[in-house]
């Protein structure tokens, strides 16, 4: 266990994964609450990375005794929304079919044109896990019809519709067992329509780049603290961030054995108590 990253002065921002790093279920992990208090006390620029909506999360964190403003929480939905607003031409609003969720709708309502019918032009179909009224069978059918329309007109790129998946996860755990992940649902639409998807959640470079854009910092100036070698450490390393792995989540110490140098975190801690 190495902790050369205890001093945060060299970093313009600290990025914290939440699930498995800060909390598990409804319990804060050792050192987590004190670490967040330290970041607040020292006036550090920091952001929390999550798949939950900021509103759900602030409530959850409050129950654990930590006050975090929703603005500090960056989600896959926020990265997708930032991407949609920046990716399409400036002279008109992007035309979007949301088969993702309410969080995404809230982020872009009033800023885009929502597509509701198969005859309407559509720039992008946005997909996530099947957790909301935006992902009904009827709406997924509409998404498929629109994506196939593009597939049928490969030469006319002005009518091309992008398929954007929030995360590339296959499954996620739930009280019922496992559920189809955002990535699995996106691949369902992708396979049926023969349209290659773009993903904007962790560990995609675009996720970390959009977040740094919001914070006004460069990726190489950031320290990321997370529990997942794939989505946190590899993703962050790819854009040049320094990385600290905590062993409170999905990664075990033995997972580090034999890991190629370019996938190794810069530091490893048992939990966050060493950082406070």
Residues of this chain that interact with Mg ion (CB under 5 A) are 17, 19-20, 227-228
Q: How many Cβ atoms sit within 10 Å of the Cβ of residue 216?
A: 9
Shortest spacing between CB 81 and Mg ion, in angstroms: 21
* Nearer CB in complex with Mg ion: 17/169: 17
* Nearer CB in complex with Mg ion: 24/190: 24
Q: Write phi, then psi, for 131 (nearest 5 degrees).
A: -110, 5
Shortest spacing between CB 21 and Mg ion, in angstroms: 5
For residues 48 and 16, the answer to whether their CB atoms sit within 8 Å is yes
Planar angle of CA 234, 239, 242, nearest 5 degrees: 70
* Nearer CB in complex with Mg ion: 98/246: 246
Q: Is 9 exposed, middle or buried (0-12, 13-18, 19+ CB in 10 A)?
A: exposed
* Nearer CB in complex with Mg ion: 75/98: 75
Distant-in-sequence, close-in-space partners of 236: CB < 8 Å, separation ≥ 6: 15, 203, 208, 219, 222, 224, 226, 243
Shortest spacing between CB 251 and Mg ion, in angstroms: 9
Gap between the Cα atoms of 219 and 71, Å rounded: 19
* Nearer CB in complex with Mg ion: 48/127: 48
Shortest spacing between CB 16 and Mg ion, in angstroms: 10
Question: Closest residue (Cβ) to Mg ion?
Answer: 20
Shortest spacing between CB 227 and Mg ion, in angstroms: 4
């Amino acid at each position: 266990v190495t902790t050369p990253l205890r001093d945060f002065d060299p970093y313009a921002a600290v990025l914290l994964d939440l699930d498995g790093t800060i909390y598990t279920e409804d319990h804060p992990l050792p050192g987590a609450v004190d670490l967040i208090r330290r970041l607040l006390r020292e006036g550090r620029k920091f952001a929390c990375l999550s798949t939950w909506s900021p509103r759900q999360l602030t409530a959850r964190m409050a129950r654990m005794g930590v006050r975090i403003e929703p603005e500090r929480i960056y989600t896959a939905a926020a990265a997708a929304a930032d991407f949609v607003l920046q990716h399409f031409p400036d002279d008109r609003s992007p035309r979007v079919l949301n088969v993702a969720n309410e969080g995404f709708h809230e982020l872009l309502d009033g800023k885009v044109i929502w597509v509701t019918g198969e005859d309407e032009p559509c720039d992008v179909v946005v997909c996530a896990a099947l957790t909301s009224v935006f992902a009904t069978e009827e709406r997924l059918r509409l998404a498929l019809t629109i994506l196939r329309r593009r597939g049928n007109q490969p030469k006319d790129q002005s009518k091309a519709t992008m398929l954007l998946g929030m995360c590339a996860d296959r499954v996620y755990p739930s009280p019922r067992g496992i559920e189809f992940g955002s990535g699995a649902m996106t691949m369902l639409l992708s396979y049926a329509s023969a349209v290659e998807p773009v993903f904007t959640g962790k560990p995609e470079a675009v996720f970390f780049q959009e977040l740094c854009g919001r914070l006004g910092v460069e990726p190489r100036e950031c320290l990321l603290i997370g529990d997942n070698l794939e989505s946190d450490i590899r993703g962050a390393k790819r854009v040049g961030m320094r990385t600290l792995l905590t062993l409170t989540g999905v990664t075990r110490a033995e997972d580090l054995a034999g890991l190629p140098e370019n996938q190794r975190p810069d530091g490893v801690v048992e939990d966050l108590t060493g950082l406070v």
